[in-house]
């Protein structure tokens, strides 16, 4: 894994030495992504520079160093990621005098032989790159199909800037980022800024499965140029009641995952895996174990709070599979020490609080390996979230009822406070007990009251559901693209929600979280579920293969039970989090109150004080649990505080 930078100057061109210096400084800002080496290439005549920070994974020799030129000299690339099928591609390419055995060299040869679009269609991998085409005098940007690797581009001081992370932009002389209030509204409601937006008005994220051509003559209007999709998940999705046998479906999935895992275990450095003991990571490790010549190194984080601890489950799975397992129990105080580093680590406001344990397990794994496989993507592809069950069970039934009756029922449930519901729920049978039942019932009541499937999805994924803007000068709603999903009558709501999550929530939240946390410690994370051939197979399966009888990830479970006893896996889904709710009422209270003070919010002029103060008071009283929304506000406030220069650049 690496950090990449590209600069295309247009008014006026910088001297060669100054252009090299600036691009190198940008790359140094993301040195953590590639601590093993770096270099900068420049063409002063056209005003283009490419810089690279290298984390050596495949071909550790100088032959794998970047920026790298193609054999003809036409193309120069700075590349981040892995092309997993590069050895197969190399065999398909015409014989040539190979300089080394890196996937980057193979990608360049593929582009020279087949063209960019065809080369991308043939690649299996995770990547982001900037490619200078000397013949066409254009910069080409591309990102992998599922959005595992980040890529930002924007304008500043007469230059088009491209980088893996925003902190590289902030290193550009004269950089003056202006906060995009619509993006901030999106973040406060959803914990992340969805592509193609970014927290800065003058910067975009390149969406997954896209490429962008920026001719030198049009560099100054790069943000207006059309983005081209080279792969579409929607076109590979077949939502119909496909006839299949359970055994055949399990066999097909096992074969696809075995191939993906085998490809992703290839590296010239030590490889391991994250293991939580849940369905997804346990399946990945089980299939790794089948292919490994030695015990797989596995890693898990434990907490002393039983409500958040899965380490003992991971340990049991590791013992069954015979892995070389390492676990680390972290105190609440040790976890909280990560918080001051978050604004720098996630250099765009980011509010998924599982960022904390994700960083901790990555930090631990990096002491033993350079590459770690994960189970990311299993939930979105195979129906792992409770909202899919609710959509399938509740919305499908309730949507048949007259709207006035649904609204009346929802209002009746919401007339009882969540705290009161929590007290009443204590009298329910043990099998029906759940965490925060009052909040869940209020969420369910709102779900049955909405008008259509798109509104149902928006209601379920929003962390603040009020209609009022959360941002001063912002909008009432922002961020969620419909991706053209919701006017497809042949698809169920649960199908559409899984597809929407795969296109939005997965790359913009889950994968951004993992990328920044692992790259902060120079660890490469790989996700076999996101091999596009596995993704296409997942979305070709009928809903009954994913949700059955209230059971999530049904097919994954059947496959896993071939390798791990059912009793080691079956338990309520816990998630990967920390007790933010309790921390905000205890050890983090003073820190949070200072950042959320109404007079401070009003003076800064970004976040509306009234909804924040109301949520804070309800949370402190115990009437509601607003931990996720409040954490989002705190993460923006901490990020903004770490960048004082922004105050002068935004009205």
Handedness of CA 222, 224, 226, 227 (dihedral sign): positive
Dist. CA 72–CA 588, nearest whole Å = 58
Q: By C-alpha distance, which of 165, 357, 368 is closest to 270?
A: 368
Are the beta carbons of 51 and 39 closer than 8 angstroms? yes
Around Cβ 90, how many Cβ atoms within 10 Å? Answer: 17
Q: How many CA atoms lie within 13 A of 533 on its CB side?
A: 19
Dist. CA 165–CA 89, nearest whole Å = 29
Output DSSP code: residue 391. Answer: I
Question: To which H or E segment does residue 302 belong?
Answer: strand 297-303
Q: How many CA atoms lie within 13 A of 215 on its CB side?
A: 5
Cα dist from 75 to 64, 98, 142, 219, whole Å: 16, 16, 14, 18
Are the beta carbons of 342 and 350 closer than 8 angstroms? yes
Q: Identify any residues that bridge with 274 across adjacent strands, giving them in sequence order.
A: 299
- Is 123 catalytic? The answer is no
Q: Which of 2, 123, 192, 210 is catalytic?
A: 2
Distant-in-sequence, close-in-space partners of 614: CB < 8 Å, separation ≥ 6? none
Among all chains, which residue has been given the structure tokens 């043990």? 430
Distant-in-sequence, close-in-space partners of 310: CB < 8 Å, separation ≥ 6? 276, 277, 278, 300, 302, 574, 576
Are the beta carbons of 159 and 172 closer than 8 angstroms? yes
Are the beta carbons of 409 and 447 closer than 8 angstroms? no
Q: By C-alpha distance, which of 642, 625, 644 is closest to 585?
A: 625
SS (H, E, C) 133-193: ECCCCEEEEEECCCCCCCCEEEEECCEEEEECCHHHHCCCCCCCCCECHHHHHHHHHHCCC
Catalytic residues: 2
């Amino acid at each position: 894994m690496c950090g990449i930078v590209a600069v295309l100057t247009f008014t006026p061109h910088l001297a060669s030495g100054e252009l090299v210096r600036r691009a190198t400084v940008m790359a140094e800002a993301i040195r953590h992504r590639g601590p093993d080496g770096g270099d900068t290439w420049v063409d002063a005549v056209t005003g283009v520079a490419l810089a690279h920070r290298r984390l050596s994974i495949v071909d550790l020799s100088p032959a794998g160093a970047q920026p790298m030129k193609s054999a003809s000299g036409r193309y120069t690339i700075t590349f981040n990621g892995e092309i997993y099928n590069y050895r197969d591609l190399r065999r398909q390419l015409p014989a040539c005098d190979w300089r080394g055995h890196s996937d980057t060299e193979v990608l360049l040869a593929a582009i020279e032989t087949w063209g960019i679009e065809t080369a991308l269609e043939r690649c299996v991998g995770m990547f982001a790159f900037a490619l200078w085409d000397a013949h066409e005098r254009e910069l080409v940007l591309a990102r992998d199909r599922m959005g595992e690797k980040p890529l930002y581009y924007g304008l500043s001081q007469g230059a088009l800037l491209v980088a893996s992370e925003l902190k590289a932009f902030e290193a550009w002389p004269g950089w003056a980022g202006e906060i995009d209030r619509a993006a901030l509204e999106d973040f406060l409601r959803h914990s992340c800024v969805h592509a193609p937006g970014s927290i800065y008005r003058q910067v975009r994220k390149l969406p997954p499965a896209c490429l962008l051509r920026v001719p030198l003559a049009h560099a100054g209007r790069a943000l207006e140029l059309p983005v081209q999709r080279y792969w579409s998940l929607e076109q590979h999705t077949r939502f119909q009641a496909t006839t299949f046998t359970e055994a055949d479906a399990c066999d097909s999935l096992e074969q696809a995952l075995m191939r993906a895992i085998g490809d992703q275990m290839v590296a010239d450095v030590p490889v391991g895996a994250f293991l939580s003991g849940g369905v997804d990571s346990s399946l990945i490790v089980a299939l790794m174990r089948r292919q490994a010549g030695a015990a797989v190194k596995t890693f898990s984080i434990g907490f002393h709070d039983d409500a958040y601890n899965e380490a003992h489950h991971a340990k049991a799975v590791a013992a069954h599979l015979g892995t070389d397992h390492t676990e680390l129990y972290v105190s609440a105080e040790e976890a909280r020490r990560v918080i001051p580093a978050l604004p720098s680590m996630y250099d765009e406001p980011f509010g998924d609080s599982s960022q904390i344990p994700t960083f901790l397990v990555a930090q631990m794994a990096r002491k033993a390996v350079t590459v770690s496989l994960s189970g990311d993507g299993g939930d979105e592809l195979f129906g792992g979230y409770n909202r899919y069950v609710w959509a399938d069970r509740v919305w499908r039934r309730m949507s048949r009822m007259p709207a006035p009756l649904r609204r009346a029922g929802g209002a009746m449930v919401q007339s009882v406070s969540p705290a009161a519901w929590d007290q009443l729920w204590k009298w329910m049978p043990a099998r029906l007990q759940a965490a925060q039942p009052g909040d869940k019932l209020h969420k369910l009541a709102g779900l049955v009251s909405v008008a259509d499937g798109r509104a149902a999805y928006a209601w379920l994924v929003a962390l603040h559901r009020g209609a009022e803007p959360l941002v001063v000068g912002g909008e009432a709603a922002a961020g969620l693209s419909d991706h053209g999903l919701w006017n497809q009558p042949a698809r169920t709501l649960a199908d559409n929600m899984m597809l929407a999550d795969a296109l939005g929530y997965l790359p913009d939240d889950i994968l951004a979280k993992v990328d920044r946390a692992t790259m902060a410690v120079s660890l490469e994370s790989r996700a076999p579920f996101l091999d596009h051939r596995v993704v296409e197979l997942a979305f070709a399966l009928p809903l009954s293969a994913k949700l059955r009888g209230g059971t999530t990830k049904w097919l994954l479970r059947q496959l896993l039970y071939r390798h791990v006893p059912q009793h080691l896996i079956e338990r309520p889904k816990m998630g990967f989090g920390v007790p933010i709710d309790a921390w905000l009422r205890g050890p983090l209270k003073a820190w949070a109150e200072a950042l959320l003070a109404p007079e401070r919010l009003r003076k800064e002029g970004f976040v509306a004080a009234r909804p924040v103060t109301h949520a804070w008071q309800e949370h402190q009283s115990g009437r509601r649990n607003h931990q996720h929304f409040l954490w989002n506000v705190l993460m923006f406030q901490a990020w903004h505080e770490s960048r004082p220069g922004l105050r002068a650049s935004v009205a």
